[in-house]
Structure 1
Amino acid sequence: MLRLSKAAHIDKPWRIHAIASDFRVEDVWALPTPGGPDDFPRLVRQFADSNPVDTSRVVRALFAIRWTLGEAFGWDRPDSGVGTRVRTLRDRLPADLLAAPPGPDLRMIPFKSVYLIDDEWVSEYANRTVHALLHIGWVPDEVSGGYRGQLAILVKPNGVFGAAYLAAIAPVRRLIVYPSMIRMLGREWRSDDR
């Protein structure tokens, strides 16, 4: 697994740039999902159906702690999410993206799909700390000559507390959660090839 520079996302001609210019790129990762030009729908299905919480005992414990704290402090109440505290990104979509099917919602974590096109899928989530976008793209792989997935997380923190919260959990996300999730995704991708 390979964490990439923010430029790996910013320099691509993604449609999300025009829609979410007020979000900042938090993390970018290369996904271990080698494939051909037509394999993006497979990645979208696999990612939507995966359960990142069950990647390891440590990640499961971290998610349990996070959801417990969220419940105790009211971070995840229904009035703090998309459509209540923040407007859905779908309200910003141009007509062609709005007319297209939005794609699948994630099954195990509460991200809702915004749009899905041939090489780009965006889902969103909001709570009292942040409005977050999960961007999955399908990019040429210069090493293999094929294609692979690329994950970017874009965020708009909710005030000073949201920015401090994101900064505080960044090491946990980058050192434990994302690597574990990406390893699981790679294992599932390889097992699907058999």
Structure 2
Amino acid sequence: MRLPKSAHTSLPWRIHELTRDFSVEDVWSFRTPGAGPGDFPAMLAAMRAAMRATGGPARLRMAVLVKPNGRFGRLYMAAIAPFRYLVVYPALTRQWERAWRAHLERTSR
């Protein structure tokens, strides 16, 4: 589910120190059935992704940070936005959900 940018910017994430001159492009929350904050595979830690308790089941949050280089960079980001929303993000979501379900199967044995 897409979240407002403040869902990322209002929290004291360490990434803010490293990305002061970046802008937040998108913030997402993903289902992680049966997950706890320490359970998500480490391979996604390189992305700005984190488990966050939400009052119910923990959810994976991903923020997309960008630093467009000049006018061309801004135009490029605007041009690829439909592709990101219609192809890239849905594919990432499906891949993460498959990986998470496989992780749960391996750890529940």
Q: TM above 0.5, one fold?
A: yes
> Equivalent of 2:51, from 138, 151, 168?
138
Structure 2 residue runs of 5 or longer lacking an equivalent are: none
CA deviation after TM superposition for structure 1 residue 32, in Å: 2.4
Q: Which residue in the other structure is 1:164 paired with?
A: 75
Q: Please give the alpha-carbon distance, in whole angstroms, between the structure 1 residues aligned to 2:69 and 2:92.
A: 25
CA contact under 8 A between 1:24 and 1:155: conserved in structure 2? yes
Matches within 5 A, 1:29-178: 29-34=28-33, 35-40=35-40, 42=41, 44-45=42-43, 47=44, 121=45, 123=46, 134-144=47-57, 147-178=58-89
Q: What TM-score, normalized by structure 1, do the two folds share?
A: 0.50
Tell which structure's C-alpha radius of gyration is larger: 1
Counterparts of 2:51 and 2:59, CA distance in 1: 6
State how far apart, in whole Å, the 2-side matches of 1:16 and 1:181 are. Answer: 21
Asked if the contact 2:38–2:51 (Cα under 8 Å) also holds between the matched residues in 1, the reply is no
Structure 1, 159-168 or 170-179: larger mean CA deviation: 170-179
How many residue pairs get aligned? The number is: 104
8 Å contact from structure 1 (residues 28, 153) kept in 2:
yes
> Quick check: 1:138–1:149 contact (8 Å CA) kept in 2?
yes
> Deviation digits for residues 54-73 of structure 1, max 9, x if unmatched?
xxxxxxxxxxxxxxxxxxxx
Which residue is 2:8 aligned to? 9
Q: Distance in 1 between matches of 2:85 and 2:56?
A: 24
Following TM superposition, the consecutive aligned residue runs of length 4 or more in structure 1 with deviations greater than 4 angstroms are: none
TM score, norm. by length of structure 2: 0.84
- State the one-letter code of the partner of 2:3: L
Structure 1 unmatched ranges of 5 or more: 48-120, 124-133
Task: Look up the match of 2:18.
Answer: 19
